[in-house]
Amino acid sequence: MESQADNCLKSTSILDSMSEVNLTAYKRKEKSLALLAARFLRCCPSPSGDSVIDLNAMASELGVGRRRLYDIINILETIGCATRAGKNKYTWKPDKIKQKLSRLRHVAYQQSRTEAGEMLAGYLRDGTRRSFSLGQLCERFIMFLHTEPEGMASLEAVADTLFPVQEGSDPSTWQARKSCIRRLYDVANVLTAVGVVQKVHSLQTRRPAFQWVPALQDRPRTASDCIDSAPLDRSEAPGPAALAAPNRTAKPSIGSGSAFQILNRGGRPAVLPTMIVKPTVHDNSHSQRIMAAVDDNEQRGTLLNDSQLVVEYRSALSAWMDGTATHVLRVED
């Protein structure tokens, strides 16, 4: 039932049936999950405090079948801003996002990459029940970003870890990996709509990737602009500037100016980058301690050893992810 309403054609329509020819514009973009998720969020009761979301109402409101809404709800659930409240009913909890994300980050720093990989790998094979639940992938995706430099990674990179595949593996394994990536697109798209991540283009790889959005406020943005993004980074030569300004940066966060930027230059191995931190302000006792150590290091003109670097990086990145950072991060080679 409910065919489309996009007609408004003005030309032929003869008895054709549904070939491909003319008529146009079918606009696949407008049907994207990302856009639908954005509209979905706009329909969610904005005021804090829990409220109810009715799938059927939402479906008719957005003029879409329920199937797609499940994709969105699943992600929102794993992000913590919604919980099942019964048949066709969900409770909207925008205030819980930050809490859930913090938890995921904590876990991310606890386990190793291999552990993460094994988990999903375990899904495969086990009878015939190989499954990539959107929720699981969503959590893994988020945790993975937390362990990547600048909280950025391409979906292929995510798949390489979550679903490692051998060189001479059988076709079915590669097919599974492909399927994994397809799902990751779904996850990334709704996370983009929520504002947790943003699509960017890796400076070195030049390939599309997704990056964690710093300082996500407590509630999801009433996405309306988060539509697609236009990263575009033409130049190839870092040039003298060497200050490849932070690509995105939507807007200056509210009140407290969480001045914190990561300047990256030169292709570094896909590991944690070497860096020097320059303290400028400090009001957070926790990060203050971290910065002190780094500052000391700087005066000595020496670099911390690898293990220490990792710790420093993560601590600083952690603050960045939270939007509580009050220092400038400078990455050097």
Residues forming contacts to DNA in the complex (CB under 7 A) are 20, 26-29, 31-34, 55-56, 65-68, 70, 73-74, 84, 86-89, 129-135, 155, 175-176, 179, 182-183, 185-186, 188-189, 207-208, 228
- CB 274 within 8 Å of CB 332: yes
Residue 116 or 180: the one with the smaller Cβ distance to DNA is: 180
State the minimum distance, in angstroms, from the CB of residue 70 to DNA: 4
DSSP of 247-261: S---S--SSS-----
State the minimum distance, in angstroms, from the CB of residue 148 to DNA: 16
Residue 97 or 155: the one with the smaller Cβ distance to DNA is: 155
State the minimum distance, in angstroms, from the CB of residue 39 to DNA: 13
CA distance 77 to 91: 10
Residue 68 or 113: the one with the smaller Cβ distance to DNA is: 68
- CB 218 within 8 Å of CB 95: yes
DSSP of 252-312: --SSS-----EE--S---SSPPPEEEE------HHHHHHHHHHHHHHHHT-PPPHHHHHHH
State the minimum distance, in angstroms, from the CB of residue 231 to DNA: 11
State the minimum distance, in angstroms, from the CB of residue 285 to DNA: 41
State the minimum distance, in angstroms, from the CB of residue 63 to DNA: 11
Residue 143 or 176: the one with the smaller Cβ distance to DNA is: 176
Residue appearing with tokens 């991310």: 108
- Which element (helix H / strand E) includes 54? strand 51-54
Give first-to-last CA distance, the chain, whole Å: 61
CA distance 173 to 149: 28
Residue 201 φ then ψ, to 5°: -125, 120
- Among 228, 287, 292, which residue's Cα sits nearest to residue 259? 287
Residue 26 or 259: the one with the smaller Cβ distance to DNA is: 26
Residue 33 or 162: the one with the smaller Cβ distance to DNA is: 33
